[in-house]
Amino acid sequence: MTVSATASIRERAQAARAASRELARLSTSVKNAALLRVAELLETEQGDVLAANATDIRAGEAAGIDAYFLERLTLSPERLLSIAADTRNVASLSDPVGEIIDGRTLPNGMHIVRRRVPLGVIASIYESRPNVTIDIAALGLKSGNAAVLRGGKEAQHTNRALGELLQRALAESGVPTEAVQVVSDPDRAHVDELLGMSDVIDMVIPRGGEALIDYVREHATMPVVAHGAAVVNIYIDAGADIEHAIEIVDNAKTRRYSICNAVDTLLVHSAIAPAFLERLAECWKGRVTVAAGGRAMALLGPKTDAGLAVEEASDEDWEREQLALRAAVKLVDSIGEAIEHIEAHGSHHSDAIVTEDYSAGTRFLDEVDSAAVYWNVSTQFTDGAQFGLGAEVGISTQKTHARGPMGLRELTSYKWVVTGTGQVRPL
């Protein structure tokens, strides 16, 4: 079923549905060849993509969109090379389609196994980040799923260019081009139409701000996998190595402040707070604004004379995804108080402890109910590529059917396959 980019959304989704049946039967070698061709084009044909991205950046700047949004939107030759590397990583992973999960032979001789199968058609509605277009298309292809990808208006030119690149790679590799539908038309009505297509689309993954995710959850007629606001906490325990802690915290905040796994709140044990905050002020002066709560203000307030930007924290700061070079800081008197704060104010996304105390570290990992928990590691690793998944279609803070970064296996279901020799069920 061939459709043009100007066809209706339903026609394009139906074409993806038809292509998904063929995609589910493709050999691993054909799928890998297509992925490697995508990676090659991302490296050798960057001009059109970067030009389109520059158009989107100029429009975003003129519209006054937030700095973190622009940072997420921006592509560079280096970022395209990184996306290409992630695509090659997906090609190198084991193909989950057809994998036997488990099996057994019953006393009557029937043999039963569970076999992995693709979900079918995955839709994603997302904002700003054009890398999502390639990531979801690549993971969908490798796991035998067709994809309908609707990016935001702020990235429409970039996504159109990436969609054309994907179509070229699929066509040159013997993969049905209808298996990836990139919808670059910014008409908001397309979102509502997609969310009503439970007869065609098997799962929708929203990626973006809390408003978008809440809207998709409220209006989708098919299963939704997503996370809301990602409020990330790092607890600096009394048993932390201070230099180690500073390095981890600085990386978690400043490497890329615009991503969902950047730290938002530091919880600092009161016993280590004077020494730790002294070093933090030195590290962050002129770079990061600190919203200090209560006792933390008493320690950090005087540091304004040394060039540290300090504000008084509000109650909202503990539940705010900062998305800026800004972090809230609060003193606690025990690991139990830190865990209670995370439970009350966190988002169950990514949370970390820094400590050399084994008991404290293991307690934190056991008791903090988040999709990813860390001990002496920066939270910036909550990422499909960093977790060895090649890339990710999103990060789930739900508990069914997937949690944390979603890769190939999270895009599959299974079917029961039963074979026998004429068995019938007794009356």
Percentage of the chain beyond pLDDT 90 is 91
Mean of the per-residue pLDDT values of the chain = 95
Structure tokens of 305? 């004379």
Q: Which long-range contacts (CB under 8 A, 24 or more apart) does 395-398 make?
A: 395/227, 395/230, 395/260, 395/261, 395/349, 395/371, 396/225, 396/226, 396/227, 396/371, 397/226, 397/227, 397/228, 397/230, 397/347, 397/348, 397/349, 397/370, 397/371, 398/225, 398/226, 398/227
Q: Which residue has the higher pLDDT, 208 or 41?
A: 41
| Residue 350 reports pLDDT greater than 60 | yes
In 85-232, the DSSP E strands lie at 100-105, 111-118, 121-126, 146-150, 180-183, 203-207
pLDDT tens sequence across 281-325: 999 999 999 999 999 999 999 988 889 999 999 999 999 999 999
| Residue 1 reports pLDDT greater than 60 | no
Q: Is 109 exposed, middle or buried (0-12, 13-18, 19+ CB in 10 A)?
A: exposed
Within this chain, domains 9-225+406-419 and 233-381 share the same CATH topology: no
- In this prediction, residue 5 carries a pLDDT of 65
| Residue 364 reports pLDDT greater than 60 | yes
Mean pLDDT computed over 8-24: 96
| Residue 355 reports pLDDT greater than 90 | yes
pLDDT tens sequence across 370-426: 999 999 999 999 999 999 999 999 999 998 889 999 999 999 999 999 999 999 999
CATH domain 9-225+406-419 topology: Aldehyde Dehydrogenase; Chain A, domain 1 (3.40.605)
Cα dihedral angle (56, 62, 67, 73), rounded to 10 degrees? 0
Report whether 420 contacts 109 (CB < 8 A): yes
Phi, psi at 46, each rounded to 5°: -80, -20
For 66, the enclosing helix (H) or strand (E) is none
Tokens 């969109």 sit on residue: 65
Residue 353 pairs with which residues in a beta bridge? 235, 375
CA distance 183 to 151: 7
CA distance 84 to 423: 51
Residue 195 — very low, low, confident or very high, per pLDDT cuts 50/70/90? very high
Structure tokens of 242? 């201070």
Q: Max Cα separation, the chain? A: 86
| Residue 98 reports pLDDT greater than 70 | yes
- In this prediction, residue 208 carries a pLDDT of 87
138-142, 225-229, 236-240, 313-317: least confident range? 225-229
| Residue 268 reports pLDDT greater than 70 | yes
Amino acid code (one letter) for 6: T
- In this prediction, residue 304 carries a pLDDT of 87
pLDDT tens sequence across 138-193: 999 999 999 999 999 999 999 999 999 999 999 999 999 999 999 988 888 889 99
CA distance 376 to 240: 9
Question: Domain limits of the chain?
Answer: 9-225+406-419, 233-381
Residue 228 — very low, low, confident or very high, per pLDDT cuts 50/70/90? confident
pTM of the model: 0.90
- In this prediction, residue 203 carries a pLDDT of 97
Percentage of the chain beyond pLDDT 70 is 99
| Residue 59 reports pLDDT greater than 90 | yes
Q: Which residue has the higher pLDDT, 110 or 1?
A: 110
The CATH code for residues 233-381 is 3.40.309.10
- In this prediction, residue 9 carries a pLDDT of 93
- In this prediction, residue 289 carries a pLDDT of 98
